[in-house]
Amino acid sequence: MKTTPSASSLMSRENLYFLVLAALLLLVFPVLLDAFRLNLVGKYLTYAFVAVGLVLCWGKGGILSLGQGVFFGLGGYCMAMFLKLEASSPEATASQSTPGIPDFMDWNQVTELPWFWQPFHSFSFTLIAVVMVPVILAFIIGVAMFKRRVGGVYFAIITQAIAAILTILIIGQQGFTGGANGITDLRTLMGWDIRSNEAKTVLYFVTSGLLLACVLLARHVLGSKLGRILVAMRDQEDRVRFSGYDVASFKVFVFCLAAALSGIGGALFTLQVGFMSPSFVGIVPSIEMVIFCAVGGRHSLLGAVYGALLVNAAKTGFSESFPELWLYAMGALFIAVVLAFPNGIAGLYQRYLMPLEKKMLGGLGKAANTRPTAAARRMEETP
């Protein structure tokens, strides 16, 4: 589903796919699934934000970050801090030695709300922080590394180390962060009980809506000149540089964008699950998120959404019936995706289903017939 904006028929095809996804998320799932399953899907969709971000920076930009969990976690923690402060009103925490601060601080003999918690009393600040905190960190990392032309493998390993550092730091600073347990027992958002089934359903629709909006935004970015430079950069970085483009700045931008998407996903995750803990910041979740993206198809925005949904649904299903087999299945999936289907579900769809579809429909213009396959072929050639 590569964006080639010149072909108008292809655009309409892309719009069609987008509408199918929208219908699936906004109509089919809510009608077919009970509240419990719908909430699960809502949780999976928050990972899809990260996967969409990865399509931008990894699939299109060639920057593999193994630290997306960091941004997901930061967004989640920002939201969790706001919710925790709301849950820790002086009345609700009257039995503590210092009322009005989160319970875990009280247990750790922290007697005053630390300065960096203060602004999270404000909801509008929190909303900004959910996006900006990950973006600022991504900007610092990105500028430091891309300006020095660090890329590929080195970038992956360094982002992984950052994930490790942040996890140890959060766990170690228990009095300020809630430690290994994380920030738990979040109840209300501006007085609205987020634990009820109705709230979870509303949150599901909010998540779906935001995700669809983010996909549109990402599509817009890719459809612009920037998107084409990105792909050009991935394939022939030096040529782009010699053409006079500031390669590093483009990379920093797309990395920040991916971080922002992850942060939004993290915040929605906190809202739906009702807690945030350091186990979403570390290395394992970061790599898992890469695999969601790879399974869906690293070049396809919509594929990433399907990838996140399918892998997580499989994880839940498998571990319900055969917990022992789950790791084998997951491991095999990683290997199979890399060895046999490097373009994931989207690639399979383009290669096998699309020709079939065309045969059946037949009437679509010639342009539509040739372009996607050419695009697909091009994708297979470029790693």
Residues 296-315 that bind another protein (CB under 8 A): none
Separation of alpha carbons 184 and 178, rounded Å: 8
Give the residue, chosen from 161, 213, 216, 374, that forms a contact with another protein under the rule CB under 8 A. Answer: 161
Give the residue, chosen from 162, 229, 247, 268, that forms a contact with another protein under the rule CB under 8 A. Answer: 162
- Short-list 130, 132, 134, CA closest to 81: 130
Give the residue, chosen from 164, 202, 348, 364, that forms a contact with another protein under the rule CB under 8 A. Answer: 164
Give me the 193-212 binding string for another protein, x by CB under 8 A, dash otherwise: --xx----------------
User: 41 with 204: CB under 8 angstroms?
Assistant: yes
Stretch that binds another protein, among 111-119, 131-139, 171-179, 252-260 (CB under 8 A): 171-179
Residue 39 CB, nearest approach to another protein (Å): 8
- Short-list 31, 10, 74, CA closest to 266: 74
Separation of alpha carbons 9 and 11, rounded Å: 5
Residues 46-105 that bind another protein (CB under 8 A): 64, 66, 93, 95-97, 103-104
**Binding flag, residue 32, another protein (CB under 8 A):** no
Residues 6-25 that bind another protein (CB under 8 A): none
**Binding flag, residue 327, another protein (CB under 8 A):** yes
- Secondary structure string (H, E, C) spanning 167-178: HHHHHHCHHHHC
Separation of alpha carbons 379 and 350, rounded Å: 11
Q: Nearer to another protein by C-beta: 170 or 368?
A: 170
Stretch that binds another protein, among 10-18, 181-189, 220-228, 363-371 (CB under 8 A): 181-189
Separation of alpha carbons 102 and 336, rounded Å: 46
**Binding flag, residue 185, another protein (CB under 8 A):** yes
Stretch that binds another protein, among 1-9, 11-19, 115-123, 144-152 (CB under 8 A): 144-152
- Kindly report the number of other CB atoms within 10 A of residue 22's CB atom: 16
**Binding flag, residue 228, another protein (CB under 8 A):** no
Q: Phi and psi at residue 188, in whole multiples of 5°?
A: -130, 155
Q: Is residue 193 within a helix (H) or strand (E), and if so which, with residue range?
A: strand 192-193
- DSSP letter (8 states) at residue 343: T
Stretch that binds another protein, among 204-212, 216-224, 323-331, 350-358 (CB under 8 A): 323-331
Residue 44 CB, nearest approach to another protein (Å): 11
Separation of alpha carbons 324 and 60, rounded Å: 36
Stretch that binds another protein, among 17-25, 116-124, 247-255, 320-328 (CB under 8 A): 320-328
Determine the length of the chain: 383
